[in-house]
Chain A
């Protein structure tokens, strides 16, 4: 509240301008106003009234309607314009009788009338009433200014927050050639989150999340989600580990009633396999390129951030997905998009748009156009997010960049370690991220993390599945057998009571880089080394990639004992 108003409230002097061409009228008004304790300024015509107003800035103005030079109405317009945001009450002094003339006075900005003959009581009551209104008006103005300032402040904060958010959410690989997406923000922050990142092994993780609500509350949950997603993916964690970690994190930070509908997809370019965890989102679609047909993939779980870790289900849907097939995920904004008659776009229209496209590359645009045309001029009342991911061949993407680089230049160079996992650990612990993390501490080795992860993953899965569990790799030669193989793997792990897998690492630095040797030993019976290797190479099916792949990536592969120990030598050079 400003000083002027504080004074007015205390009943201190204000300035009142009286403009009337009759001197006797001015005398009467001046006397009445003086008796009330206020200062009076006078003018004999409209033009003089404006001059006095500009010079003295009175708080209230009394104007005769009909005056020489400039009449009261014209003067009122100027005064109101000049007053701007401040409320300057203008009272017309008039003995005008007809309704039209009175209406003209109000149109010109007049706030009230005072009729002749003047009454002291009425004039004083009106002045007091207008002083109260001025005070209320000023309070309102200052509150409005305060709100506007808060709003500007909020927008600035949101802008900074958004910049931080974008840095986290966009450090992934959404611009990969096999991804198409659209995000339509309703507010400054989108309730939808779309994340994509390369896996160290060469595949890709993509996550679409739709937080309840919009704006800042939705973005707050998105931050840790993105952080966990990118960090764990870059460290080689599996989709189940990541989705469980995100759920636990969101459960602990989000208030009751706020959660995140999400679908996370794990693309293995090497195995041409899609693995999906989907909770609370609309069904996703798998487009089969050779048949030009859609397969629906329903959401099987509750949204993230609802269940406690003990109740949370990480079961995945595992689907073979040959090169060229396309996977579509969307938030409920698409199927719930409405047209002018309140009809929803719905899943059938979505499927039709996909299947009716003549060229695979045009599907995404066709769906976009179908939604836009359907809605017409309607306002979007939810975020509309749609993403398409195409399955591609292994190593088709050049130089994947995880967005996270190793800043340290010094670190362990000459070292060795041994790490043995017993049955309880093997049952549900994936040692690969930890092993990779230790190895990646070697300065300069990080660019090779993809290859090293692939080698570790192959050696470990051979040691665990064929060695400790004794599973037959023959099963994996057909698509249906592949799935049966993984079911058996899960079942046997659950009842595992004995056995071990042992990692042995040695790193020896040299001038150009270094030599990393990786040895894995398992408790299994081993295998006929020569037979197996020749079969693997000939067959080239699902299981045929393992050992030849490791051979192609490393400098030597050697088997020991009964075949239950293998040693790989990886020679690397600084970039």
Chain B
């Protein structure tokens, strides 16, 4: 669910700023998930694509690869304007994010 070797490298690179990175990511991801939800309710394919793309990039940089993978699929749906099944993808994303949040918070201690 989380790539530990990426977390290790980030701790080395950011040193004392690592906790700030994690909290920034979590805040940002939360905001994007909220915006994703509105885009899906409005069947706004373009915004689904943009938000999913950003969340995918940020998540992959934090080693949250499961979430990045789900976002990638959602991004494709937005790009191809095929919105069947986006609701199910979105609920998987929410579940995955909650789990990742728990994992990352553990690294702050």
Contact = CB atoms under 8 A, between A and B. Distances in A.
Chain B interface secondary structure, helix, strand, loop or mixed? helix
A23 B14 contact: no
Contacts of B42: none
A119 to B, nearest CB: 8
Interface of B: 3, 6, 9-10, 13-14, 17, 20-21, 24-25, 28, 50, 53-54, 56-58, 60-63, 68, 72
27 contacts: A22-B54, A22-B58, A22-B61, A23-B24, A24-B21, A24-B24, A24-B58, A25-B57, A25-B58, A27-B14, A27-B20, A28-B21, A28-B61, A31-B17, A66-B50, A66-B53, A66-B54, A95-B53, A95-B56, A95-B68, A95-B72, A116-B57, A117-B3, A117-B61, A117-B62, A117-B63, A118-B61
Given A66-B50, A117-B63, A22 B13 contact: no
Contacts of A21: 54
Interface of A: 20-25, 27-28, 31-32, 35, 64, 66, 68, 93, 95, 116-118, 120
B37 to A, nearest CB: 18
A32 B21 CA distance: 13
B38 to A, nearest CB: 15
8 shortest interchain CB distances as A-B pairs: A24-B25, A22-B58, A116-B60, A117-B61, A31-B13, A117-B60, A31-B14, A116-B57
Contacts of A31: 13-14, 17
Contacts of B20: 27
A68 B51 CA distance: 10
Contacts of B13: 28, 31-32, 35, 120
B66 to A, nearest CB: 13
Given A117-B6, A120-B13, A24 B54 contact: no
A24 B50 contact: no
A117 B72 CA distance: 14
A19 to B, nearest CB: 13
Contacts, number: 58
Nearest to B65: A117
Contacts of B6: 117
Contacts of B28: 22-24
A392 B50 CA distance: 92
B61 A25 contact: yes
Contacts of A117: 3, 6, 60-63
Contacts of B21: 24, 27-28
B60 A95 contact: yes
B67 to A, nearest CB: 13
Contacts of B53: 66, 95
A105 to B, nearest CB: 14
Of listed A20, A24, A64, A120, residue having the most chain B CB within 10 A? A24
A496 to B, nearest CB: 108
Contacts of A68: 50
Given A22-B28, A24-B28, A27-B20, A64 B57 contact: yes
Given A27-B17, A27-B21, A28-B21, A22 B57 contact: yes
B57 A28 contact: no
Nearest to B20: A27
Contacts of B72: 95
Contacts of A66: 50, 53-54
A27 B72 CA distance: 22
Nearest to A95: B57
Contacts of A35: 13
A340 B26 CA distance: 75
A24 B61 CA distance: 8
Of listed A20, A31, A95, residue having the most chain B CB within 10 A? A95
A23 B20 CA distance: 11
A21 B58 CA distance: 10
Nearest to A71: B50
B57 A120 contact: no
A118 B56 CA distance: 13
Given A21-B54, A23-B28, A66-B54, A28 B14 contact: yes
Contacts of B50: 66, 68
B19 to A, nearest CB: 11
Of listed A23, A25, A93, A117, residue having the most chain B CB within 10 A? A117
Contacts of A28: 10, 13-14, 21, 61
A234 B21 CA distance: 95
A27 B13 CA distance: 10
Given A20-B57, A24-B24, A24-B62, 9 more contacts: A22-B57, A27-B14, A27-B17, A27-B21, A31-B13, A66-B50, A95-B53, A116-B57, A117-B3
Contacts of A95: 53, 56-57, 60, 68, 72
A24 B10 CA distance: 11
B60 to A, nearest CB: 5
A64 B72 CA distance: 16
Nearest to A66: B53
B30 to A, nearest CB: 12
A95 B55 CA distance: 11
A484 B11 CA distance: 113
Of listed B6, B10, B13, B62, residue having the most chain A CB within 10 A? B13
Contacts of B61: 22, 24-25, 28, 116-118
Contacts of B60: 95, 116-117
Nearest to B64: A117
A28 B58 CA distance: 10
Contacts of B58: 22, 24-25
Contacts of A27: 14, 17, 20-21, 24
Contacts of A64: 57
Of listed A21, A22, A23, A68, residue having the most chain B CB within 10 A? A22
A25 B13 CA distance: 13
Nearest to B25: A24
